[in-house]
Chains A and B, each alone.
Chain A
Amino acid sequence: MRNHPRKEDYLIILSYTGRVAIGLGIVCVAPMLVAIVEGEWSVLVDFVICAGACLLSGAVLAMLMPTEAHPGWLHGMVATAVSWLLAMVLAAIPYALSGHYGSYLDCMFDAMSGFTTTGLTLVLDLDHLSMALNTWRHVITFVGGQGVVVLALSFLIDGSAGSYELYVGEGKDERLFPSVLHTAKAIWKISAAYFVVGMVALWVTGVAIGLPVKAAFYHGMWIYMAAWSTGGFAPMSQNFLYYHSAAYEMVSVVFFVAGSLNFALHHAVLTGSRREMIKNIETISFFASFVILFSIVAAGLMRAGAYPDLVAMMRKGFYQVISGHTTTGFMTISARQFALEWGDLALCGMCVAMMIGGSAGSTAGGIKGLRVGALLLAVRHDGRRLLLPPSAVFKKKMHMIEDRYLGDEQVRAYAIITVLYVGMWVFATLAGVAAGYPALEAAFEAASVTGNVGLSIGVTAPAMPIFLKIVYILVIWAGRLEFMAILALGGFIVSAVRRR
């Protein structure tokens, strides 16, 4: 990497950021259409303002691209980090104009929560939100999720599985765009297939549980977008408890677990390599960690006397664990019930589940099953090395779409990211405790924030201290970008201010 960024580097980054803002302006069309259909004319005006701001700022920034520009991988990384911040500021405009938020900071919190598919919210009076604004909340979650998948998979599908090792200072020499476009096409095809199935399933189930046909369509659309993106926003204040339906919950589980699976895995399984489903390191590690963690949570719930029977244990215990582990964040209980009824053992199990998270190359957050699985494999390999004679040779491999070598460099990279995640969780926990919340509640909320989950124990609320809102925004942002883009930005800033 160059020692000191040139003016051209700043302009390239700002120009990329502008393109993202233009994209966001185009996304405003979705809620505008809903506003027109529903006759929410004042909301339509709010979205015209938002779209105008996005398109204008995007056009101005995009025009900064130098005529003879040579954009590279690092420009893309830094632009990714910066554009998420700009998107947060712009997407907050309709929230602020709605009057449903206490401050612009609260609006930005919700915007960042949406883009990062977290799902924590500071909205006031959600039950009276306009259809258009509810559509916006869910659409930005959907778009944010797809965007992150493109970013993550551009490393994996590009053939360099070890690209997770690439940090500041180790720039790639190839253009990001061609592989991103190719990857995006594959992702959109998979998402389109699931969209059709998901929308039909949720719409039909919604009607079956008593929702009017139109409401069932809207709720189905919103819930699908939140489920597939493992976002966890729901259109009503009671979240999934609003529906009082085991059937609706079960259908949602199918789509949010599917959304938490690696898109490369989807591509393999849906194009004929069906055995990948049981050979893949991530599907194996996710299943194993779920069994262990749900056992811990169930034991904790029994000890706390939380739920009386099998059905309640499944609809509350199982649902929250799988929602947390996939980092979706749908809730079938009130936030305060975690603190009042679950007991410490179950909450600890939930914290670990949320931190581990879902699969790499998906919309899920957390440390990721790939890293956890790979680190456990590495422990196993080291164990074998200890037991075998020094001259013995054995294959250190893991299977992810194909057999890959699990060398020390890869393990080191996975371990570093894991340490960063845990460190960030500690930081967010300390911030919560400093704000006056009990330690376990602060730790639970911190795990939810770090893993981009969205389950809440009641800490996230409009009355939360301002500094904690800012901390959570930064943690959500960093966790979603898996530090890569943040470190790239950090390195860029350091190189900019450092003397030659």
Chain B
Amino acid sequence: MCGRRACALAAAFQIMGLAVSVGAWADGASVQAAPTVPVQVVQYEALLEGARAFDGLKATIQGEAIGQVMERGTMAWVNVADQSGAIGVWMSAEEARSISMLGSYSCRGDELRITGTFHRACVEHGGDMDIHAETVAIVRAGERVAHPFSVARQVAAALLSLAAAGGLLLLRSRDGKRRALESKGAKSGKGGGHGC
């Protein structure tokens, strides 16, 4: 468990270092505190584990848009999930409306590549860990997911239902007989029972 965390942190710092170097080479200037050219997609887990290091920097994530778009005026929240977890992305409502499918039981949502500023505890959004998107690109459209029937399960369901119905009818008749016996016993003046 510690090994995984260390690897994730190391990867995060490597990516950051790469980004800084490429940015410096492109600008022909000295290393800047905030690199402007991200080069590689970062997994959510790397952002989480290296949150303090990544805070305020630009990052690129790629993942599936899930759940619902929540429009808040001219902006919107879209939650994006990759293999390692999900993060909220704050983008313009217009960009959000370009997303045609969101992940759910019946759909795989559009896969998005988002570049934006990562916040460990966003001041604008009450301390949320989020990304304020600068560019949003749909790399793969979503699609409906089929959930086919299993014949074996349908047969099992039918058999169990029949058996359960039979069992309940039998139980009901036994309960009726016991109630009749109890009321007979009460009429003849027998006392109540004691617990163990």
Contact = CB atoms under 8 A, between A and B. Distances in A.
12 contacts: A40-B105, A45-B153, A52-B161, A59-B164, A70-B193, A127-B81, A306-B121, A309-B127, A312-B123, A314-B126, A340-B48, A341-B52
A350 B194 CA distance: 46
Interface string B160-190: 1101110110110010001001000000000
A341 B127 CA distance: 12
Q: How large is the interface on A (under 10, 10 to 19, 20 to 34, 35 or more residues)?
A: 35 or more
Contacts of B161: 48, 51-52
Nearest to A1: B196
A314 B123 CA distance: 12
Given A49-B156, A244-B88, A337-B48, A209 B129 contact: no
A210 B76 contact: yes
B77 A210 contact: yes
| 6 smallest beta-carbon distances between A and B, as pairs | A72-B195, A70-B193, A52-B160, A312-B127, A59-B167, A210-B70
Given A241-B128, A244-B128, A63 B121 contact: no
Nearest to A22: B168
Given A127-B67, A210-B72, A315 B164 contact: no
Contacts of B71: 210
Nearest to A129: B105
A334 B171 contact: no
Given A65-B178, A336-B49, A340-B51, 17 more contacts: A5-B196, A9-B196, A40-B106, A45-B150, A48-B157, A54-B164, A56-B167, A171-B195, A171-B196, A241-B128, A242-B86, A244-B77, A246-B126, A306-B121, A312-B126, A315-B126, A336-B48
A195 interface: no
B49 A74 contact: no
A431 interface: no
A215 interface: yes
A72 B193 contact: yes
Contacts of A25: 164
A334 B48 contact: yes
A173 interface: yes
Nearest to B148: A42
Given A238-B88, A312-B121, A130 B105 contact: yes
Nearest to A6: B196
A105 interface: no
Contacts of B76: 210
Contacts of A220: none
B92 interface: no
Contacts of B103: 127-128
